[in-house]
Amino acid sequence: MIKKLFCIMGTCFYLITSCTSSKAVTLSSTFKSVFIEPLGSGKEYQIYNAIIESNYASYPILIILDQTNYFYESNADDFEYLKETLPSLDKEIVADYLKRNNRSYQLKDLFAPYGTEIVLVDVGYVDWIFKAEDFDKAWQTFHEIHSKSYGFITLSKVGVNTEQDQAIVFVQGLCGPTCGIGEFFLLSKINKRWQVDKKVTIFLA
């Protein structure tokens, strides 16, 4: 089943259609950012799926913003802390991450649910929370609509080394007016399968 949410003049409603082949639910609104380039690499989604399996598989619903790097961009201080925490981190992974994350990309429905319902939500749908006059009330409304979800996450593009057997991804989770976390995930590829090795928390609210 595909659920699409449309927002017109501040009123939101679902249009539900049947679909047996979809792995994830797409939640969209009337607002779209036309400058975003599509992200279609299946290899990157293998890495995203490894993070979902290790960190979010127990969530009844996982809401993912369908645009990379929307709310937070990693800065020099973040990478200094990352290098201090992970001294063995390959410098070329960081360089590749920075090169790949100089713009936003549109995510596609290539996620593997691992038992959780995955909802892709576009920028226009979540913007109403951050532009609302009553920020707390907007989050309350969000949680009333999505009572089984703790909030939503955003993903960066993946940074990889030359051998393409190590990778980093920045994931931000937002769950309320003063509730959020930003983490780097370090992954390695073993026997053709990606797995999460370590997480480094950059901020916690």
The whole-number pLDDT of residue 38 equals 55
Mean per-residue pLDDT of the chain? 79
Pairing of strands 37-38, 105-106: parallel
Using the predicted structure, report yes or no on whether residue 48 has a pLDDT greater than 60.
yes
Interval 59-118: pLDDT, tens = 899 999 988 977 777 777 888 898 899 888 888 999 999 999 888 888 988 888 788 899
Interval 106-160: pLDDT, tens = 898 888 878 889 999 887 778 877 777 888 888 898 899 889 998 999 999 999 9
Report the distance separating Cα 108 and Cα 65, nearest Å.
11
The residue written with tokens 């299946």 in the block is 42
* Model pTM above 0.95: no
Using the predicted structure, report yes or no on whether residue 2 has a pLDDT greater than 70.
no
Enter the tokens of residue 89.
């981190």
Q: What is the mean pLDDT of residues 46-53?
A: 94
**Which residues does residue 37 pair with via DSSP β-bridges, in sequence order?**
105
Angle at 158 between CA 156 and CA 65, to 5 degrees: 30
Report the distance separating Cα 133 and Cα 179, nearest Å.
18
